[in-house]
Amino acid sequence: METRDCILQRRAIRKFQENKLPDEVIREIVDCARFAPSWANTKAIRYICIVKEKTKKEVEACCTEHNQGIVSSAPALFVLTAVKGLSGLERGKALPYPSHTPEEWLMVDGGIAAQTLCLAAWDLGVGTVIMGGYDAVQVSQALKLPEDQILVAIIAAGYPDEAPSAPRRKELQDILQILHTVLCVLPCHGQSAAL
């Protein structure tokens, strides 16, 4: 599948066929996801794929009612975690000019990894939905996450049993601003520069 087609055709899938995801498909999805860019290539994101029913039930109990139905029908759950103390830092120290906190950068890295995983899955015919309604502390405890890791995302996955239409999107002109070259004065030097 072409990249553009994958991006435009991917949908959030909340209803799944009963077919299990083969281990080789799970491995291929994560093998692609691990190529997602990360802060200074620190590779802080870790992946857990839950296919065991007992563990899925434990995670399901930590979710909102709406998400419980999704979890119970999904053949697999991808849980993305991030190792603390890697993203947003320079050799373990805070930057002198931080744009975001290290915790925020962990979430940036996690978001990139989550979308990369969803696109890799879609390319293989596997549907996904990134879920938001759950108690992160309870899920972390249920999965016995190490102290040095933080829960980033839970993604339900399986072969789609629905074909949702594309949701409405904002028009390009409503979300894009292209700044063309202008002449301005740099305050620190009083010199003109093209931006």
Residues 126, 13: Cα–Cα separation, whole Å: 9
Helix (H) or strand (E) holding 102, with range, is: helix 102-123
Instruction: Residue 67: name the closest of 52, 56, 82 by CA.
Output: 56
What are the residues whose beta carbons fall under 8 Å from the beta carbon of 51, sequence distance 6 or more?
20, 21, 26, 75, 76
144 sits in the region (left: phi over 0; alpha: psi -120 to 50; else beta) called left
Q: Give me the residue label for tokens 């050799």.
A: 91
Task: Return the C-alpha torsion angle 24, 25, 26, 30, nearest 10.
Answer: 100
What is the spatial distance between Cα 141 and Cα 135, in angstroms, rounded to a whole number?
Answer: 10
Q: Per-residue confidence of the chain (195 residues) as pLDDT tens digits?
A: 899 999 989 999 999 999 999 999 999 999 999 999 998 888 999 999 999 999 999 999 999 999 999 999 999 999 999 999 888 777 777 777 778 877 888 899 999 999 999 999 999 999 999 999 999 999 999 999 999 999 999 999 999 999 999 889 999 999 998 888 766 656 655 555 555
Predicted confidence at residue 56, as pLDDT, reads 96
The C-alpha atoms of residue 60 and residue 62 are separated, in whole angstroms, by: 5
For residue 179, what are its two tokens?
């700044």
pTM: 0.87
pLDDT at 182: 65
Please name every residue paired with 158 in a beta bridge, in sequence order, or none if there are none: 127
Q: Where are the beta strands (DSSP E) in 97-141?
A: 127-131
